[in-house]
Amino acid sequence: MAERYALGIDFGGTKVLAAVVSLRTGEIVSSAKKKTRPDDGPEELVQRIFSVAQAALDDAGASQRAPVISAIGIGMAGQVDPVAGVLLGTPNLAQSSVELPIAARLTERFAVPAVLRNDVHIAAVGEQRFGAGHDAASFLCVFVGTGIGGALVQDGQLVTGFTGTAGEIGHIIVDADGRLCGCGGRGHLEAYSSRTAMTKVILGEIKRGRATRLTEVFALDDGTLGRGAALRSGMLSRAVADGDELVTEVVRDAARYLGFGLASVINVVNPQRLILGGGVIEAVDLMFEVAAETARREALPVAGRGIEIVRAGLGDNSGVVGAAMIAGAAA
């Protein structure tokens, strides 16, 4: 049988990745990456997707046996209508709600069928097919980066819920009337354990006079402090490794809240395996360790003892691989 390929695109909070993926093995033939721009207009966002997709295809074409793709799958952070292939809202746009027919635009541009999904759903499918979930019938995936996303697979099926919001662990309440979340709610996990949340706490502490080697990340040319938009997971990891007291404290605290949130979900769902991924988990070992330990300890004893807590098997590529698999199955 001839090898089949699809293009997978993962449009996350800070970057957009595209890859040509083998549908048989999940192997990545070529890939391309671009930064996202939160001030993009809808048309700029579509053009950004086109250009990173084209770059991945060009790179694949440069290899000896140029693969022909049969479909395109894209996952985007935010609210999507997977049936219509329409993006309804995303943190990557200046305006809060849109009605962008992303799947139709991709089909028009690249002349193959295209599907649109939530970015966490594609990552869960990638992990299910070729990553840390490949041998588990039921697992929970949680990704920690700019925000916190989650997805639940039960008996081999992705659980989407009545309105497609199932798995939104970032918005479970860990502190009644607590910190304001990006969604407008209060006390949500994302406001305690995402990189965005940690950035805010570190900046607040710097303003109060605490010392940290990350101060320079926040410094603006005019000598004032910025919002720390450039703070990356790797910087947190290096600061922890260097013994930076403030950053270590902030990471531990964020990880503890993550563990509390995970424990609550473990009690409700009782999954066989918990897969943790995303930029912060990938980069910062302390985050994984403290979150896993807290989750196991705080969950009900039988569920907590039984659960396997592991890292995502495909790292940064869970999303592009899953998106390609969903597209290949639909084409």
Residue from 105, 117, 129, 171 touching Zn ion (CB under 5 A): that is: 171
- The answer to whether residue 188 forms part of the interface with Zn ion (CB under 5 A) is yes
Q: Which is nearer to Zn ion, 121 or 171 (CB)?
A: 171
Residue from 183, 219, 269, 329 touching Zn ion (CB under 5 A): that is: 183
Using alpha carbons, list the distances in angstroms from residue 318 to 102, 121, 164, 200, 322.
21, 10, 20, 28, 6
Residue from 82, 101, 164, 185 touching Zn ion (CB under 5 A): that is: 185
Q: Which is nearer to Zn ion, 119 or 316 (CB)?
A: 119
Minimum CB distance to Zn ion, residue 224 (Å):
29
CB atoms under 10 Å from CB of 210, counted, come to 14
Residue from 169, 181, 214, 287 touching Zn ion (CB under 5 A): that is: 181
DSSP 171: G
Q: Which is nearer to Zn ion, 171 or 256 (CB)?
A: 171
Residues forming a β-bridge with 13: none
- The answer to whether residue 195 forms part of the interface with Zn ion (CB under 5 A) is no
Q: Are 7 and 69 in contact (CB under 8 A)?
A: yes
Q: Which is nearer to Zn ion, 186 or 213 (CB)?
A: 186
CA-CA distance, 138 to 152, in Å (whole number)? 8
From 18-26, 131-139, 182-190, 225-233, give the range in contact with Zn ion by CB under 5 A.
Answer: 182-190
Minimum CB distance to Zn ion, residue 183 (Å):
3
Q: Are 274 and 282 in contact (CB under 8 A)?
A: no
Beta strand extents in 105-207 (DSSP E only): 114-118, 139-144, 148-154, 157-159
Q: Which is nearer to Zn ion, 26 or 150 (CB)?
A: 150
CA-CA distance, 248 to 251, in Å (whole number)? 5
Chain positions contacting Zn ion, by CB under 5 A: 171, 181, 183, 185, 188
